[in-house]
Amino acid sequence: MLERRRFLAELIALGLSRSETVQADVPFDPAEWLRRRRLGRLTTVTPQAGKPLQPLAARSLDEWEKERTLYATALRELIGAWPGRRPPLQARESESREFPSYTRLKVSFSSLPSQANYASEIRAWMLIPKGKRKPLPALITLHQTVPQGKDEPAGIQASLPWMAMAKDYVEQGYVTLAPDMIGYGERTNGGYARTGFELADAAPILNAHPDMTLLGLMLFDVSRAVDFLAERPEVDPRRIGVMGHSLGGILVNFILGLEPRLRVGIASCGYGLFRKDQAFDGRWASTNSAYLPRMHLYKKDRDALPLDFLQIMALAAPRGHLVQTAMGDSIWTLPAVADDAFVAAELRRIRSFYGQQAEEAFRSIQVAEGARDRDHGWYPEGQRAARELLAKVLQ
């Protein structure tokens, strides 16, 4: 408790002015957000900056490690700073229920402190298989954009049977953790329902950490899920992975470049190239999106961006990574996924610098062999490939 009070005191000492705060139910103004923070375009210069989508420049591992540092720095700039010191985890269990093959616990652990407990406490379902020798591999299962949040992967309220990822994988011998992202499940005070946007629920935390973006907070919370699992006696901390669809898939593709403790990531419909996304203006930084406010500065010149999803996903190498893409994805828009074969080839080429094991740890799945009538979804061929890759990397 004393440590938590000290952490809160440090936040109060920042002396945030009202002009720097996020107004919960007011439409987001990215230009004003940037002005108050005196932020311009990203300062990191990379081989991709100022050009249409390019192949990764490196031709050797040494060259790639230098290039990789540039993209990792640009990514950190884009999502905003995480706190230098993490608050106490304050993990607890509040509910337990037995099923034939597993135990389901309701657990919670801390995100970042604020005046709103609903925001600062991450609630999650933890599913633990019975009859397995522990410690076991673990899998963080991230929900899509659905109001029930963690209840979908836990199989309590799944929109489709194959979205119950936590329930599916606990029955395959993994400890699984399904957390609520901010704005969903129990991490809301009704903000998302009122506005259709996570910012209203995230405002208490973002006001206490004014340099953090909404997507940066979500990614930090995934990293906190790793913190939580790494302390559990049922879990082998060297064998933790992450998977998700749609919003969950986006988080997977980003977090692999930020969280080295993750051994593998499974991303379904989790990317569309910034440069070619027809919904770019409204998706990343507009009046109804505060995910990445600095994207607002690239609306008229996306080629100026120093990185794209290709470079972000390349940061996962040499660890395990599966990317499933539906070539008729109307959520990402067709132009944003049209270069998937090029992206996959470049990701494989970078992995060749690390050796055969890194190459084999990457899977690119185009649904129905690239058929344009396959829309946003988690498809059987992706599910099969995910099971195989997770078994290879974590079991």
pLDDT on residue 289: 81
pLDDT on residue 176: 99
pLDDT on residue 21: 64
pLDDT on residue 227: 98
pLDDT on residue 246: 98
Would you say residue 321 has pLDDT above 50?
yes
pLDDT on residue 4: 38
Rounded to whole angstroms, how far apart are CA atoms 7 and 58?
42
Secondary structure E strands in the chain: 92-98, 102-110, 121-129, 136-142, 175-179, 235-245, 262-268, 320-325, 362-366
Mean local confidence (pLDDT), 69-85: 96
Assess contact for 237 and 66: CB atoms under 8 A.
no
Mean local confidence (pLDDT), 300-325: 98
Assess contact for 22 and 277: CB atoms under 8 A.
no
pLDDT on residue 285: 82
Q: What is the pTM of this model?
A: 0.94
Residue 196: C-alpha distances to residues 25, 147, 167, 190, 250 (Å): 10, 10, 28, 10, 19
Give the confidence band of 18 by pLDDT, cuts at 50, 70, 90.
very low
The DSSP-derived string for 147-186 is TTGGGTTTTSS-SSGGG-HHHHHHTTT-EEEEEPPTTSTT
CATH placement of domain 86-241+378-395? 3.40.50.1820
Mean local confidence (pLDDT), 146-174: 97
Axis-axis angle for helices 214-230, 247-255 (nearest 10)? 70
Of 39-43, 168-172, 185-189, 196-200, least confident by mean pLDDT is 196-200
Would you say residue 16 has pLDDT above 50?
no
Mean local confidence (pLDDT), 76-93: 96
Would you say residue 8 has pLDDT above 50?
no
Written as six digits, the tokens of 191 are 């903000």
Mean local confidence (pLDDT), 126-141: 97
pLDDT on residue 12: 35
Structure confidence by residue, pLDDT tens digits, 204-224: 999 999 999 999 999 999 999
Written as six digits, the tokens of 346 are 């470049």
Give the confidence band of 6 by pLDDT, cuts at 50, 70, 90.
very low
Of 42-46, 99-103, 285-289, least confident by mean pLDDT is 285-289
N-term to C-term CA, the chain: 38
What are the extents of the domains in the chain? 31-79+270-376, 86-241+378-395
pLDDT on residue 144: 98
Q: Which of 92, 150, 156, 86 is nearest to 121 (CA)?
A: 92
Would you say residue 369 has pLDDT above 50?
yes
Would you say residue 43 has pLDDT above 80?
yes
Mean local confidence (pLDDT), 368-378: 97
Mean local confidence (pLDDT), 34-62: 97
Written as six digits, the tokens of 257 are 């470049």
Would you say residue 371 has pLDDT above 60?
yes
Axis-axis angle for helices 214-230, 61-79 (nearest 10)? 110
Position 268, amino acid: S
- Write down the mean pLDDT value for the chain: 93
Would you say residue 20 has pLDDT above 80?
no
What percentage of residues in the chain have a pLDDT greater than 70?
94
Written as six digits, the tokens of 7 are 């952490």
Q: Which of 48, 38, 37, 42 is nearest to 74 (CA)?
A: 42
Give the confidence band of 2 by pLDDT, cuts at 50, 70, 90.
very low
pLDDT on residue 22: 67
